[in-house]
Structure 1
Amino acid sequence: MKKINILYSATMAVLLLSSCSDFLDTMPDNRAEINTEAKITSLLVSAYPAAFPVMMAEMASDNAMDNGPLFSVEFQSQEDAYLWQDIVTDTDEDAPQGLWDACYLAIASANHALQAIETMGNPSSLAPQRGEALICRAYGHFILANTFCEAYNYETASKKLGIPYAINPETEVSPDYIRGTLEETFSKIAADIQEGLPLIDDNLYSVPKYHFNKKAANAFAARFYLYYLQADKSNYEKVIEYANAVLGATPTKVLRTYDADFGTLSSPTNVADAFISAKSPANLLITPIYSSWPYTYGPWNLSQRYGQAKEICDNENLRADGIWGTAKNLVAANTIWNPQEKMPFPKLGMYFEYSDKVNGIGHRHAIMVPFTANETILCRAEAYIMKAQPEYGKAVTDINDWLVSVCYAGKAPTVTEDDINNFYKSIKCMPTVITNAAERTVKKQLNPIIAFVDTKQENFIHCILHLRRVETIHEGLRWFDIKRYGIEISHNRDGLTPDVLTKDDPRRAFQLPQDVIDAGLEANPRN
């Protein structure tokens, strides 16, 4: 288990998440009173979760395979996630327990800030802080819901389990909590976004990209409403609206330039530093987390049992042919380091904080970029395709802008509607269980909540999911796309029959931490 150190400012309350019987309790230290604008602003630094389900999500997705018993894993949670088993042994930030605690700790900070603002009479001068706190609270619950709940389905959300939505700092020792429904959870996230987003003011921050600035908050709103699918498809209009606020009139000005950023770099460390740079207009929010994920997936000869092996990379992901042509045109495909059991594009680096240099003890950190302009433009393209009246031409424009971003200078093709439709129409869906690498393709059978209107729409979504898989490799978002579109996948297991994750498999929702279940919160079903 990794040691956890969370540093607080001198002016903020100390928030305690103690035993299994009070897993959401947040009791402020009576030595500190949050009674000034400066203290509230400082408190909000801790309203961003110090964990993200990146390792669990990547291992559970089709971006990983079993490389065999000749290789080992560093953490049991990595193997458990790959095998879709409940994670109970590990409790650090890469496991459900650590993620749960980190998210609710961040939510508690947001709630204490909101309470302090209310106590001070909700002055207009604190409106930006209120906006940030509401967006942070929504974001923390969004992470939890997408990790521990099934994908949102408007037909079943009122019957599916949500997660406790914390809206007040707790003062009881052992308050009672219920999970509520997924519909209730998403409705409350939407309410916080709607109230908080108009209040965001970039002038509040010295470094806006370390906070939910306007563009980051709008990017979060765009992704949320993409996941929050409604029967009338009305939320796709919201996705477009919020993405427009991020991308502006000329999206190419804010998209990442992969060639300029990474094309000449000669070390994984330099690539990682460039990827998280606050100078990149594509990076909308930058947050540190406690995690070993950069070691687990990165260019080191450790933890090689499960990963994006060459077989996946060459046939399904970065080095597979795409609408960009062959892999030689794609910068990320040529910025990959060994070992071949993991084939990492080193976008996330490991940053080690020593607590005892003499004994080599400390904490592993990663820097995440939860929202980028590149991912947001793909959210908008998906919304154009899936809205009630598809706008393929606008989606194609977004796709072509994305291609310019990720290809070497002068190598990006300009594709048409027919190019996209014909390319994905020509590819066979790979079988759920494969017998050899030749059966792998970039296309899998989709089981959408709302049926596609025709094969063209389906082919366009195959395109978007392919692009999203390339763009967000190693970031965990592929798992959520698998959940959203009911993609059935299988994981090979050495010497055993491959395990199939069907579209309705309850294991698509990670199990709650055991301490939380022991405290009385209803567990996710497992049959």
Structure 2
Amino acid sequence: MIMKKINNPVRFWCMMLFIVLFYGCETFLEEKPSKDLVIASTIADLQALMDAGNKLNLGNYPGLLEARTDDVYIGPGGLNRLTVYDQNIYLFDDDYQEDGESILMSWFYTYSTIAIANTVMDELSFVKEGTSIERDIIQGTALFHRALGHFLLAQVFCDVYEESSADQKLGIPLKKTSDTSEPTVRSTIHETYDFIEKDLLEALELLPENTTYLTRPNKAAAHALLARFYLSKSDFENSLFQSEKALEYNADLIDFNELNSASSFPIAAMNKETLFFAYSFGIGFLHHSRECYIDSVLYGQYDDQDIRKKVYFRALANGKFSFKGTYMGFGSGSFFVGPTTSEMYLTSAECYVRKGEPERARETINTLLKYRWERDYIYMIEEEDPQRLLDIILMERRKELIHRGVRWTDIRRLNLDARYRKDIVRKVERDDNIYTLPANSSGFIYKIPRVVINFSGIVQN
């Protein structure tokens, strides 16, 4: 998955070791390491660092994005095999230890991607060679990665964005440089989102229109991430603009009629819908070996002529269903987090109806569904009532984007609207108990790892 041959692997891995040991543990350090340890000297060195898929695109994003959604449930046997920590996460127990593996990975792994991006940007000023275009691309790529990392962390470790309270509520620590002596302090939610927006808009200006590899961001990817960013703020006008701009670069959709739905994983990695390839290592109990099943109510929303019912789900011997419709090309507890064209169609459709353009909304959602339903079965959404049309589009968004790292953000933003406010409920078969995560409760904000609190002194959620 690495995109290019690294000419000097010793140099590269020394630099990686520097980042992991020194920047990744910055909360433990008071002293900035010697500048002599930073050894990037060419544009190729910096590009190699940005191409380090195993440190950026491939895994290092918060697995907690999918841990408490309403899309799956764990069978009794799988639940009994979970650690106490994972059981508490799954069952909405606020007494989970903040040093559990999923918390630590979600925090430190994602901040490590930000550390790499910051190191590249800081070192770029010391590298004298390279054309202006090459330097712009390196800078834009690093900004994109830093923004993606901060954005996904914000979905896990701070409250949902509300304009009225964004200046009062705590956001996440913003890492703006590779200086390990920089204090770790929590910004406000407003400051967090302003910083992410600034990075993405700057990246958009610097990134190329096309890239050779889908693990490298381009303008379409930046527009798409901006569309997701603005939607998380319920800024429908800007989200619509960005999603439509992304589709101007790539509006391709996979015709699900042409997929082998009997395959273990019918959707290939790096497919034509992918605008940027990235995934999370996930969390252990999302793996099929933990009896991770698809919510039966959600499964019932797919019509028999909807090909996603066969492409996305695997029927099991016990009558339940597991997920196989990943955009990663393989299966595990991991899940895809990169933006896709299908996400952009759904974002545009939602924003169109919210802005009072139901005709455009219907046109957009029907374009997507034409590639999801059986060819011999003509299915068109003709609903004219704006409220019912929005209901349909939001359900289609949930059905299409399952295990794409966006459901958690959608639940949080929709909980601000009384029409869509939703408690998440777990029924545990082993004891017939009901566990509930009330809408807008503190359980929608994860605790920061205790080790970070102890060493930095920042305020806990």
* Match of residue 255, structure 2, among 241, 257, 260: 257
* Structure 1 position 400 matched with structure 2 position 374: no
* Match of residue 216, structure 1, among 213, 216, 221: 221
1:159 equivalent in structure 2: 168
Distance 1:28-1:154 versus aligned 2 partners, 3 A rule? farther
Structure-2 separation of matches of 1:136 and 1:190: 13
Structure-2 separation of matches of 1:379 and 1:237: 11
* Match of residue 345, structure 1, among 311, 323, 326: 323
* Match of residue 303, structure 1, among 290, 301, 319: 290
Distance 1:521-1:256 versus aligned 2 partners, 3 A rule? farther
Distance 1:187-1:200 versus aligned 2 partners, 3 A rule? same
* Structure 1 position 319 matched with structure 2 position 325: no
* Match of residue 124, structure 1, among 119, 132, 145: 132
Contact 2:257/2:372 (CA < 8 Å) preserved in 1? yes
Identical amino acids, percent of aligned pairs = 22
For residue 108 of structure 1, report the CA deviation from its aligned partner. 0.9
Distance 1:470-1:521 versus aligned 2 partners, 3 A rule? farther
Which residue identity does 2:222 align to in structure 1? A
Structure-2 separation of matches of 1:33 and 1:70: 47
1:119 aligned counterpart, secondary structure: coil
Structure-2 separation of matches of 1:367 and 1:474: 6
For residue 501 of structure 1, report the CA deviation from its aligned partner. 2.3
* Structure 1 position 372 matched with structure 2 position 372: no
> Is 79-88 or 461-470 further displaced after alignment?
79-88
Contact 1:25/1:170 (CA < 8 Å) preserved in 2? no
Query: Aligned pairs, how many?
Result: 433
Structure-1 separation of matches of 2:42 and 2:28: 29
Contact 2:26/2:180 (CA < 8 Å) preserved in 1? no
* Structure 1 position 52 matched with structure 2 position 61: yes
For residue 63 of structure 1, report the CA deviation from its aligned partner. 1.5
Structure-1 separation of matches of 2:126 and 2:87: 47
1:439 equivalent in structure 2: none
Structure-1 separation of matches of 2:333 and 2:440: 35
For residue 143 of structure 1, report the CA deviation from its aligned partner. 0.6
Which residue identity does 1:35 align to in structure 2? S
CA offset digits 1:229-255 (Å, max 9, x no partner): 3xxxxx42322222122222994xx12
1:158 aligned counterpart, secondary structure: coil
Distance 1:21-1:132 versus aligned 2 partners, 3 A rule? closer
Contact 1:23/1:516 (CA < 8 Å) preserved in 2? no
Distance 1:89-1:120 versus aligned 2 partners, 3 A rule? closer
* Match of residue 43, structure 2, among 37, 48, 52: 37
Structure-1 separation of matches of 2:437 and 2:307: 32
CA offset digits 1:223-277 (Å, max 9, x no partner): 1111123xxxxx42322222122222994xx12222213xx34331x42xx342x
- Which ranges in structure 2 are unaligned for 5 or more consecutive residues? 1-5, 416-420
2:447 equivalent in structure 1: 511
* Structure 1 position 68 matched with structure 2 position 68: no
For residue 211 of structure 1, report the CA deviation from its aligned partner. 1.4
Distance 1:250-1:517 versus aligned 2 partners, 3 A rule? closer
CA offset digits 1:181-215 (Å, max 9, x no partner): 11100000011111111110155x432x1111222
* RMSD, aligned CA: 3.1
Contact 2:92/2:443 (CA < 8 Å) preserved in 1? yes
1:431 equivalent in structure 2: none
1:498 aligned counterpart, secondary structure: strand
Which residue identity does 1:244 align to in structure 2? E
Which residue identity does 1:59 align to in structure 2? A
Structure-2 separation of matches of 1:28 and 1:290: 32
* Match of residue 400, structure 2, among 459, 465, 471: 471
Contact 1:509/1:524 (CA < 8 Å) preserved in 2? no
Contact 2:255/2:371 (CA < 8 Å) preserved in 1? yes
Q: TM-score, normalised by structure 1?
A: 0.74
* Structure 1 position 106 matched with structure 2 position 107: no
1:155 aligned counterpart, secondary structure: coil
Equivalences for residues 12-31 of structure 1 within 5 A: 12=12, 13=15, 14-15=18-19, 16=21, 17=23, 21-22=27-28, 30-31=36-37
Which residue identity does 2:61 align to in structure 1? F
* Match of residue 139, structure 1, among 127, 131, 148: 148
- Which ranges in structure 1 are unaligned for 5 or more consecutive residues? 1-6, 230-234, 322-326, 353-363, 422-455
1:181 equivalent in structure 2: 188
* Structure 1 position 500 matched with structure 2 position 436: yes
Contact 1:240/1:383 (CA < 8 Å) preserved in 2? yes
Distance 1:287-1:504 versus aligned 2 partners, 3 A rule? closer
Structure-1 separation of matches of 2:85 and 2:376: 43
1:83 equivalent in structure 2: 91
Contact 1:48/1:140 (CA < 8 Å) preserved in 2? no
